[in-house]
Amino acid sequence: MAIRLDYTNMLGDVVEGGVPVADWESARRDFASVRAKVGALRAKGVLGFLDLPDDRKLAGSVTTFAKAAAGKFDDVVILGIGGSALGPIAIRTALLAPNWNALSTSERGGQPRLHVLDNVDPRTIDALLNRLDLSRSLFVVTSKSGGTAETMAQYLVVRGRLDAKLGGRATEHIVFITDPKSGALRPLSIAERIPALDIPPMVGGRYSVLTPVGTLPAALVGVDVGAMLEGAGDMAKRCESESLERNPAAIFATLQHAADVKRGRHIHVLMPYSDPLRDMADWFVQLWAESLGKHRKDGDAGFGPTPLAALGATDQHSQVQLFMEGPPDKTITFLTVANRKADVQIPSLHHDVKELAYLGNHRLGELLDIEHRATAGALARRGRPNMTLQLDAADAWHLGALFMFLECATIHAAMLYDVDPLNQPGVELGKQFTYAILGRPGSDEARREWDALPKPNPERIV
């Protein structure tokens, strides 16, 4: 059980456009100061995600709830957006059978379906709610602050339908995941006797996948949450190393940062060569974009790398042309799986057709791995730096480790970029404008700013 990072192709002595070795050496020398900054942040208590693997009480609350819920529900529906949705989606894709929600109860081993409503499009929500047997459905409402407009709107719609259908028993079909004290959901949970699980105050929303935000959905469909936390704990320890060469998250962060500021490679691609890991890329995009993309001081022009999700081999027929021959502004990190549970033999047929004959007697997983190696090699040959993160298997242990790896990498990167990895001040104005247009009390100032904006110009509408 291990995750390995191979960064051979990231350095300038191997790949023409890579990080200059001198910069890598100087990063090694400066690493103590980076670690000191991480340590200071941890001492402030704001890196609570690092403590989650050891939080047995929190994990116990999940297990207890899941045990009590077992057998009661055919459908589990997550109401959440951003980090509250991307984690459960990544877990579902990685650890459940493909097309889980289309499988029969017996194909699912008796576990419920798992739906994630990550948006407020009425078509999606209406279609799902009309199909569910509400008396056999559980709604997991995830919002740390209880103030997320989209999630609260979803909750109100669901609550209305549950009340109409189930009356006083409606609250037995809801569970909140929220801050233990503050926010709108906690008092509601007390007043209405709706069970609520905690997101510890010192765990930021986008670092919350190993809290009940991710572990409750996982536990409700039978995922081994203990193994997930164990893998995360193992990785957390590795990423505490004070030696850069032994700290995989810090290596990843250091190389991405150096490739950006020294080489202008400010677009950071994450490209799993694995269907189970495909939605990890979107989870990473949120983490990297929201943590690192921001002003460093008032009035600066803006700052931060742009993460990009891709999928191998699929994107060899889409984005790889650009990665290979586009501007030298990207790094590519591949995610691969060493041991597949089962592979599929390609039968040897049509021996006379040269486009088909050479494929016979190889295996699909082998082809996927070869395509990864060929793409990595071709990128290196063309001066495009890349690295590969290899999981021994796509299971709960390794997924937990991968979440932790990317979270630790983000914190280290934030220290190098000199930004606060925990806030997201840029989204506030849009929220205020939304409140103003909806007429939420207290949004008069935003309303004035909104009204002063330029209006659509009919001459510039075609």
Q: What residues between 380 and 419 interact with a copy of itself by CB under 8 A?
A: 380-382
Instruction: Check if 362 is active-site.
Output: no
Q: What residues between 40 and 79 interact with a copy of itself by CB under 8 A?
A: none
| Residues 347-366 as x/- pattern, contact with a copy of itself by CB under 8 A | x-xx--xxxx-xxx-xxxx-
Cα–Cα nearest to 213, from 335, 48, 368: 48
Q: Which of 165, 266, 431, 449 is catalytic?
A: 431
Asked whether the CA dihedral 74, 79, 81, 83 is positive or negative, the reply is negative
Asked whether position 424 contacts a copy of itself by CB under 8 A, the answer is: yes
Q: Which of 1, 36, 68, 370 binds a copy of itself (CB under 8 A)?
A: 370
Q: Is 195 exposed, middle or buried (0-12, 13-18, 19+ CB in 10 A)?
A: middle
Asked whether the CA dihedral 20, 33, 8, 372 is positive or negative, the reply is negative
First-to-last alpha carbon distance for the chain, in angstroms, is 57
Asked whether position 295 contacts a copy of itself by CB under 8 A, the answer is: yes
Stretch that binds a copy of itself, among 51-59, 171-179, 316-324, 400-408 (CB under 8 A): 316-324
How many angstroms separate the Cα of 28 from the Cα of each of 5, 16, 25, 250, 253? 17, 21, 5, 10, 12
CB contact at 8 A, 394 and 337: yes
Phi-psi region of 176 (alpha: psi -120 to 50; beta: other; left: phi over 0): beta
Q: What residues between 79 and 118 interact with a copy of itself by CB under 8 A?
A: 81-83, 85-86, 97-99, 101-103, 107, 118
Stretch that binds a copy of itself, among 42-50, 61-69, 124-132, 213-221 (CB under 8 A): 124-132
| Residues 4-23 as x/- pattern, contact with a copy of itself by CB under 8 A | xxxxxxxx--x---------
Stretch that binds a copy of itself, among 62-70, 212-220, 341-349, 408-416 (CB under 8 A): 341-349
How many angstroms separate the Cα of 121 from the Cα of each of 128, 195, 261? 11, 27, 39
Q: Which of 317, 341, 354, 455 is catalytic?
A: 317
Q: Which of 318, 418, 445, 448 binds a copy of itself (CB under 8 A)?
A: 318
Asked whether position 36 contacts a copy of itself by CB under 8 A, the answer is: no
Asked whether position 190 contacts a copy of itself by CB under 8 A, the answer is: no
Q: What residues between 212 and 251 interact with a copy of itself by CB under 8 A?
A: 245-248, 251
**DSSP state letters, 184-216:** SHHHHHHHHT--EEE--TTS-GGG-TTSHHHHH
How many angstroms separate the Cα of 269 from the Cα of each of 246, 384, 416? 23, 12, 19
Least Å from the CB of residue 183 to a copy of itself:
8
Asked whether position 321 contacts a copy of itself by CB under 8 A, the answer is: yes
Interatomic CA distance for residues 450 and 438, integer angstroms: 12
Q: Which of 202, 285, 338, 393 binds a copy of itself (CB under 8 A)?
A: 285
Q: How many residues bind a copy of itself (CB under 8 A)?
A: 156
Q: Which of 268, 290, 372, 412 is catalytic?
A: 290
CB contact at 8 A, 259 and 18: yes
Q: Catalytic residue numbers?
A: 290, 317, 431
